[in-house]
Structure formats: C-alpha cells, structure tokens
Amino acid sequence: MIAIIGGTFDPIHFGHLRPALDIAEKLSLTEVRFIPSATPPHRWQPEASAEDRINMVKLSIEGTKPFILDDREYHREGASYTIDTLKSIRFEIGNDQSFSMILGLDAFQSFTSWKDWKDIVEACHIVIAARPGYQIDETLDEYLATRVTDNIDDLKSFAAGKIYFCDVTQLDISATMIRDKLKNQQSCDYLTPAKVCDYIESNKLYGSDK
Ligand code: ATP
C-alpha cells in the first residue's frame, strides 16, 4: 500500500511529517511519497523556489522509512493538477495496488472545487488527517459521503475509491506561521526539523537574516 502527500511545503514542517508518519504506521504503508507542488493552481505562489522547497523536503525525510521524495510535478510543465499526478502514478503502479492520497482536513474542505475531483476519488483513496482548528463538514457532499469508511481493511481490499478520516497527532503548525516568524526574525526551531531550520538560515529564505 502506498500513499502520497502533496503540498507546497513552503516550508515543510512537523505538522506534515508527524501526521504522515501516524498514517503510515496505522495503515502499514510501504511508501509515502512527498510531492512538492511546483506551480500550485489553488493558491498564491510559494515564496521559496521549487528547488529550495524540494531540498527542504529531502532534508526532512532522509533516513525515515517509508518516506520518499517524488519530484514529478517539478518536471512537468504548467500548473500542478493533482489528477495528472495521480494518473501518472496509477500508470506506474497499475490498477490493482491500493493507493491513497493524504490530505489535511483544511484541504479536504475545498476538495469539491478541485479539477476533476470525482476522477480523483476514482483514482485513489483519500485519507484525511485531522488538523487543529478544522471540523469535519456536517454537510459532506453526497457523492463523497457514500465513499466514507471507518474500516482500514477497506483501504487494503480496494485499490481506490474510499474516504477515511484518520486521527493523527494534532500539531497546530502551518507554513504560514513559520514564514511569519522568520519575517519577524524569530526562530523556527522545533516547528520543523533542525536541518530545515539550518537550510532556511544558510539560504536566507523567508526574509530571515539570522
Ligand atoms: P500554508 O500555511 O502555506 O498554507 P500549510 O502549512 O497548510 O501551508 P501545505 O504545504 O499547504 O502546508 O499542506 C500540505 C498538506 O498538508 C495539506 O493537505 C494540508 O492540509 C496538510 N497539513 C499541513 N499542515 C498540517 C497540520 N498541521 N496538520 C495536519 N495536516 C496538515
């Protein structure tokens, strides 16, 4: 069973890493691919370059099984649409292997505005990580509601198409918070791995001149 977690990772932080590890352990994932978005279609553009964001992901996951970096969106032209990424991974792993996309609850709340969102649900399972400050929407879209399961075995028995809400370590950390701290010449220690803090400092990212 493999999973992906996509994001701008501007920068990556423990609020990405610990919940992804919780999910990996809970679902016995053999691989979790971190996929930095080069040109995200849904939001303002990242502050750090794609190269820097990729380097920070690399530094933060090295040595942690089953995390790996997947930089395919960086090598693709144009906006990074999730459906294109999922299709290319599906092509590689075949139609039978269980494959999940990890999303924070905040990201899931706007999911029905994503390009080809119904096709996304057909292409993978969606595993939703609880996130401080966000509640499960009581009026979940009907199409999505029929896919929800609380049985982990469903994620193993089916290759795609299920939606699973997962309890994870609650860390009220965001990349915005880290960027704001750095702009104010505050430290990002203990919000993201030390190697990422060192990288930010050496490369003077996010207005940090410490
Ligand atoms: P920003 O503050 O710049 O919007 P972010 O901290 O939300 O960034 P992203 O790179 O946009 O980070 O997030 C990538 C994925 O990780 C998304 O699915 C998001 O919901 C999830 N995520 C981010 N932070 C957390 C957190 N603290 N807990 C759970 N999920 C998170």
Task: Evaluate whether 155 touches 100 at the Cβ level (below 8 Å).
Answer: yes
- Please choose from 4, 12, 16, 188 the residue to mutate so as to test ligand 1's pocket, defined by most ligand atoms within 8 A of CB: 16
Give the tens place of pLDDT for each residue, 25-55. 999 999 999 999 987 666 678 999 999 999 9
Domains of the chain, with CATH numbers? Answer: 2-172 (3.40.50.620)
Mean pLDDT of 103-122: 94
Strands 2-7 and 99-104: parallel
Query: Which pLDDT score, from 0 to 100, does residue 40 have?
Result: 64
- Pick from 170, 200, 167, 208: nearest CA to 12: 200
Q: Is 151 helix (H, G, I), strand (E, B) or coil?
A: coil
Query: Which pLDDT score, from 0 to 100, does residue 61 have?
Result: 98
Confidence of residue 78 (pLDDT cuts 50, 70, 90): confident
Complex-level ipTM: 0.98
Distance CA 10, CA 120 (A): 24
**Does ligand 1 have an atom closer than 6 angstroms to the CB of 19?**
yes
Nearest residue (CA) to ligand 1, atom 15:
7
**Does ligand 1 have an atom closer than 6 angstroms to the CB of 193?**
no
| pTM of the predicted model as reported, rounded to 2 decimal places | 0.95
* Distance from residue 184's CA to the centre of ligand 1 (Å): 21
- Window from 22-31, 91-100, 115-124, 201-210 with minimum mean pLDDT: 201-210
Question: How many CA atoms are closer than 13 Å to the CA of 145, on its beta-carbon side?
Answer: 7
Nearest residue (CA) to ligand 1, atom 13:
7
Instruction: Name the one residue in this structure whose structure tokens are 């996929």.
Output: 35
Residue 150's CB is within 10 A of a number of other CB atoms, namely: 8
